A and B are shown apart, each in its own frame.
Chain A
């Protein structure tokens, strides 16, 4: 299979100089500029060594808003099909009122050679279960969207803390300095808003950069001067004057870092739109993601852009499916799950296949999760309530075993039966795959060392390849 070449990353300094040299200014000043070598500044985002050899180099983290029903998607519960309408007792991590059980609305069929059962909500993903490590015993601490979403992203269910992407950026840096280390493809706002990709107390370099798609996918990315030449001219003048200022002040690394940041920004103006532009993709590729030519939004576009960003060395890419107001939160109408599944099933399967075809799956960790599952008992007329006591998530590539299904719930999907994976464990495992010991990735803030996993978390060794 032909492999697309990853675009070469040109040294920024060189390009910037050629740009300045090519366009303007008096030779005297230029000569002076080039004669003085810049002091080396350590880039806070330069790649860092993990604690131990990593299986995964980057993460694509897909988050489905609203709470995807586990018993209707990945967690087959034959008893629940039979028990439809029976009363369910109070308690047991379910709900505070007795409810009638509601049978799942979709049939299950085995997928791949492993034969993992997946419901008809996800026919595309079902075909790829041999590459997927399904976790059926996820559980969290909170039954509210906001808090569960915050927990899934930061390990904290109430307080604002750095997002997992920020922690990973802080721990590993990134390999492409012309793009941010952490990009959140979030056309709409998820629950808990910007907090889910916020750096919080970590340095701002690690803030998730939100991409909304459309004409200006990142704030202030589009050149606002009428021509590129004019902007280059402006930058050239600033560069000359900045260097003079710098040379009068000895070697101040803060000042030189700021000069460099303009070079990076200059390149982001061209590199980032190129990464977000899927025009160069073949028809065949677009079809895998269920995309029409010319389409530059929608979940298929997010998935394809995620692959392009992964190719370009972005460390952590988050894809937000849905928003806080339009999502999988089917309190009274479970059939609506079908339309939400249709949005993500083919693109996600396409992304997985595409990563595999391009030989990227082995070192790219693809994660799919939601904030919680849904109750086995009915809510409203024909829906399900929030259920953090158990739910399903999956991972693929990047050092996890494919074709397995880990952990289980009781016979109606009400509680974890064995091998529970708490949100903290989930995080610890993701960090482990990236070569990070979750107990050692710390940041001193307000008098103590903080961690993504707080004082919890266990690596789920059973799912590691």
Chain B
């Protein structure tokens, strides 16, 4: 009987008998070929090609080589999980493996080797005879299955595998009895007959419907229509384990043992059929179907998919007819009025000039108008007084600080990396400043998109423009980092974050749903996802530092293009020198331990010197400025699908390309990452999404809600547009006007729709409680930044100078770990957009007032009303301090009581107080004085204190934080 060591049979006696007839015994000429053993030299037992391999602790072999493992290196070519794990854990140094107790006979040997760093050249010998000369190990991650080599084993009962020359990494050894060709095991005639008669029809009949390349929607990623796919298995693991019935999921599924996996689902197979499958597996699952099948993925019917509203071409819409011809001022109004009329609603009256100015000013610059600006507007009777205000505000440098912030919400801007220790990124502010400047100079939106996705590849007309574009790719660099580990570093999650954000920001699509499976609702496939993934896999992201590898690297030097290489070399040398100095210190510390009393002082002296040198070098200022930006990766390549989103489970390799439903353009230059092309695919004329998504965002920040209320989701799970034709009118116009954002502001703000009062009549409120038909301006609360900026501005404490970099500790002092993560809040008098934002620690003020969550793309913020916000207004030192400073301002700038009240009202509410309010405040001040006097306050401080109390009261008012 011929039992191969790997076939552990716990089947029935009948099975054992069958085994003796069929298993693994077949002939090629006269020699029997069978799997003898497989050894994973430095790791656990694994399953390779359906054969059970023993782990490193197995018996009957000897290897004293050193152990090495790095599961973090991507392998070329990509392979299955068990094999990859086996390859990446290896032995080196010495390179001698002795297989013991080998019965005499003929054997074939295969050797798995791989390269973890630089290419090595070595030869391989079997029992001292060279079988392979000058083998080159290849680039980092490359692996080979060397052999097979045939050898006769005699009484020595030993096979010795050795290598000479460069350092070889031995991962595993595979040994077959007989003269094996290293390919698939040939099948005997009986086996073939059994397969064709009993197994193939069974699989085809009962399983192919859901588990073959022809399936409409393949289930569990399992294809049973070819040998390799069946053995590789699906999401649950290998479907058959050769010779092992118990471990074969196929048997588990068909025998209905597991409640959650019963196949075929509609009816259990007959006992005979199940027995046939078991017999077949015991034979070693001989399978002639050698052509690997491939499931092309769920096919999208593009034409049908593009019938969904957001994917339809932008319509050349007709401006609608309305009954009330007197009301509309521009086309926007005609669309809005037509909807109102359809719903039997009428527009609200026009807002008064003060309310309109306060609204427009907050909308465009996030600050209140000054009393002087109010007066000027009131005094200007000209026809275009309001248009002039809009123009003035669009020209203000404060505009970019307001609208840049909206963009930073969407791209989840943060000044730290988001890994478990949240490493600071001192260079990140350059991207923030680029965004602000892009809005201020009205950089066309298409250029804005190109620069962020591929600015590094675009060059520039001037050196300043080239650098700006480099910095713009900080958008990609700012993708979140994860974890603390260097081994198993989850780069795939960072890429996932990139794709998720890119989808939501530019396309309004939730692409990340397709990471593990085809999108359940939208026409985006798993293959689409990995087509994009390859682009970012081929992109070099800068390394911001992490607990176990603290130094920044791969940042882009901001130097002339011709000096880049030189600069990068300098950076590398600097790092190497730093490491060398650190090593020297370490060595000296060791010698100090061993030093005797005589040598000790000298060593101490040396150590001190070395430490000083190391410190001095560490603290050297960087030789040039750098940007947190991306570059093309050294290896640009397509990637394999990650089954269920698990990078350890590669599926088919998919070419880099764009989403099928948006054109599916494929990358033509394999040496490019594809980002430059991606930007063009994205902005192609027939992709309606970028324009629709962006005009919707602009609308949203003028009215509180977008025309599509889900600004980051234009898919089936998002909401439909309330005014689809208006959306298309604006999107069309946006592109026609050269993607100008400022032009879009004008179109929207000069409409009468925007200029309506927020006071709606009761019928309109009843009929349209959500105000989606816009018969009146939607009242809304100021956001966190506007609240803080206003509190600072009204007391003249807002610092409007250039904010620049954050006062992070210097890089050489970084020692952040997950135990002691980086955590700081830096006091600042600058506008809130300049507050240092940590990815994983919320800024206390912003967290309370619904500031953007920097861990994910925020399309629209929530507006919550919580007691913690009220506590802030009641007791926070900032509120008390600013109230006191504003009180001083009011007291010093006006003498009369009524003038003081008026100034306070103009500053805080942009309006004059009523007589009643004058009266109420007068009473309040009087009451407060009595109370304070009772506390024993001298009359000197009374007025100040009473006014401070009054201002505190006023900044708590709804009128202060709500915009009419």
B-binding residues in A (CB < 8 A):
24-26, 29, 44, 89-92, 96, 98, 144-147, 158-160, 180, 189, 191-195, 198, 200-201, 203-205, 207, 209, 218-227, 229-231, 233-235, 237-238, 240-242, 244-246, 248-250, 252, 254-255, 257-259, 261-262, 264-266, 268-269, 324-325, 329, 444, 446-448
8 Å CB contacts to A: which residues of B807-846? 818-821, 823, 840-842, 844
Contact B820 A261 (CB under 8 A): no
- A194–B422 Cα gap in the complex (Å)? 13
- A182–B932 Cα gap in the complex (Å)? 37
Known: A180-B867, A221-B871, A242-B958. 15 other contacts (CB 8 A): A144-B484, A146-B483, A146-B484, A191-B420, A193-B841, A201-B856, A204-B862, A233-B928, A234-B950, A234-B956, A255-B962, A264-B870, A446-B712, A447-B513, A448-B717
Checking B482, B842, B923 against A26 with a beta-carbon cut-off of 8 angstroms, the contacting residue is B923
- A397–B875 Cα gap in the complex (Å)? 39
Checking B483, B877, B928 against A147 with a beta-carbon cut-off of 8 angstroms, the contacting residue is B483
By a CB distance below 8 angstroms, the chain B residues around A250 are: 759-760, 762, 765
Mask for B889-932, Cβ within 8 A of A = 1, else 0? 00000000000000000000000000011001101100110011
Contact B840 A266 (CB under 8 A): no
Checking B44, B712, B866, B953 against A92 with a beta-carbon cut-off of 8 angstroms, the contacting residue is B44
Nearest CB on B from A430, distance (A): 23
Contact A223 B875 (CB under 8 A): yes
8 Å CB contacts to A: which residues of B913-964? 916-917, 920-921, 923-924, 927-928, 931-932, 935, 949-950, 952-954, 956-959, 961-962, 964
Known: A145-B818, A254-B781. A203 touches B864 (CB 8 A): yes
By a CB distance below 8 angstroms, the chain B residues around A144 are: 420, 483-485, 818
- A284–B866 Cα gap in the complex (Å)? 38
Closest to B516 in A: A455
8 Å CB contacts to A: which residues of B685-726? 710, 712-713, 715, 717-718
Contact B840 A233 (CB under 8 A): no
Closest to B878 in A: A220
Q: Does B455 contact A (CB under 8 A)?
A: no
- A219–B873 Cα gap in the complex (Å)? 12
Known: A234-B953, A261-B870. A447 touches B718 (CB 8 A): yes
Nearest CB on A from B210, distance (A): 20
- A223–B927 Cα gap in the complex (Å)? 19
Checking B513, B712, B762, B962 against A448 with a beta-carbon cut-off of 8 angstroms, the contacting residue is B513
By a CB distance below 8 angstroms, the chain A residues around B880 are: 224
Contact A233 B931 (CB under 8 A): yes
- A218–B485 Cα gap in the complex (Å)? 35
Mask for B292-305, Cβ within 8 A of A = 1, else 0? 00000000000000
By a CB distance below 8 angstroms, the chain A residues around B504 are: 446
Most buried by B among A158, A221, A242: A158
- A207–B848 Cα gap in the complex (Å)? 9
- A229–B964 Cα gap in the complex (Å)? 32
Contact B43 A222 (CB under 8 A): no
By a CB distance below 8 angstroms, the chain B residues around A221 are: 871, 875
Q: Can you list 29 residue pairs at the A/B interface with Cβ under 8 Å?
A: A89-B44, A90-B44, A91-B43, A92-B44, A144-B420, A144-B484, A145-B818, A158-B482, A200-B855, A204-B848, A219-B868, A225-B952, A227-B931, A229-B931, A238-B954, A241-B954, A241-B957, A242-B958, A246-B958, A249-B758, A249-B964, A254-B779, A255-B962, A258-B961, A262-B874, A265-B871, A269-B875, A446-B856, A447-B712
By a CB distance below 8 angstroms, the chain A residues around B762 are: 250
Closest to A149 in B: B818
Contact B483 A258 (CB under 8 A): no
Closest to A444 in B: B717
Nearest CB on A from B354, distance (A): 14
Most buried by B among A24, A238, A244, A250: A238
- A160–B497 Cα gap in the complex (Å)? 12
Q: Does B850 contact A (CB under 8 A)?
A: yes
Closest to B89 in A: A96
Known: A145-B818, A145-B819. A447 touches B874 (CB 8 A): no
By a CB distance below 8 angstroms, the chain B residues around A222 are: 875
8 Å CB contacts to A: which residues of B288-321? none
Nearest CB on A from B39, distance (A): 14
Closest to A203 in B: B864
Contact B864 A204 (CB under 8 A): yes
- A219–B715 Cα gap in the complex (Å)? 41
Q: Does B865 contact A (CB under 8 A)?
A: yes
Nearest CB on B from A160, distance (A): 4
By a CB distance below 8 angstroms, the chain B residues around A209 are: 868
By a CB distance below 8 angstroms, the chain B residues around A223 are: 874-875
Closest to A65 in B: B819
Known: A160-B856, A220-B874, A446-B504. A237 touches B924 (CB 8 A): yes
Contact A205 B866 (CB under 8 A): yes
Q: Does B647 contact A (CB under 8 A)?
A: no
Contact B760 A238 (CB under 8 A): no
Contact A230 B932 (CB under 8 A): yes
Most buried by A among B848, B865, B873, B932: B865
Contact A230 B865 (CB under 8 A): no
Contact B867 A268 (CB under 8 A): yes
- A91–B54 Cα gap in the complex (Å)? 13
Q: Does B790 contact A (CB under 8 A)?
A: no
By a CB distance below 8 angstroms, the chain A residues around B820 are: 324-325
Q: Does B123 contact A (CB under 8 A)?
A: no
By a CB distance below 8 angstroms, the chain A residues around B923 are: 25-26
Q: Does B246 contact A (CB under 8 A)?
A: no
Q: Does B493 contact A (CB under 8 A)?
A: yes
Q: Does B329 contact A (CB under 8 A)?
A: no
Q: Does B872 contact A (CB under 8 A)?
A: yes
Q: Does B863 contact A (CB under 8 A)?
A: yes
Contact B875 A204 (CB under 8 A): no
Contact A224 B920 (CB under 8 A): no
Contact B957 A242 (CB under 8 A): yes
Checking A147, A233, A264 against B867 with a beta-carbon cut-off of 8 angstroms, the contacting residue is A264
By a CB distance below 8 angstroms, the chain A residues around B920 are: 26, 29, 237, 240-241
Closest to A98 in B: B57
Known: A147-B420, A229-B931, A242-B957. A265 touches B867 (CB 8 A): yes
By a CB distance below 8 angstroms, the chain A residues around B45 are: 91
Contact A261 B869 (CB under 8 A): yes
8 Å CB contacts to A: which residues of B10-24? none
- A447–B857 Cα gap in the complex (Å)? 12
Q: Does B138 contact A (CB under 8 A)?
A: no
By a CB distance below 8 angstroms, the chain B residues around A24 are: 927
Closest to A25 in B: B923
Nearest CB on A from B928, distance (A): 6
Most buried by A among B713, B765, B924: B924
Contact A237 B953 (CB under 8 A): yes
Contact B840 A193 (CB under 8 A): yes
Most buried by A among B765, B935, B949: B949
Q: Does B391 contact A (CB under 8 A)?
A: no
Q: Does B171 contact A (CB under 8 A)?
A: no
Closest to A92 in B: B44
8 Å CB contacts to A: which residues of B736-779? 758-760, 762, 765, 779
- A180–B718 Cα gap in the complex (Å)? 32
Contact B850 A160 (CB under 8 A): no
- A21–B253 Cα gap in the complex (Å)? 75
Known: A201-B853, A446-B713. A191 touches B868 (CB 8 A): no
Contact A90 B870 (CB under 8 A): no
Contact A191 B818 (CB under 8 A): yes
By a CB distance below 8 angstroms, the chain B residues around A224 are: 874-877, 880
Checking A204, A227, A265 against B870 with a beta-carbon cut-off of 8 angstroms, the contacting residue is A265
By a CB distance below 8 angstroms, the chain B residues around A146 are: 420, 483-484, 818
Q: Does B847 contact A (CB under 8 A)?
A: yes
Most buried by B among A224, A238, A245, A446: A446
Q: Does B478 contact A (CB under 8 A)?
A: no
Contact B510 A446 (CB under 8 A): yes
Known: A96-B69, A198-B842, A204-B850. A231 touches B867 (CB 8 A): no
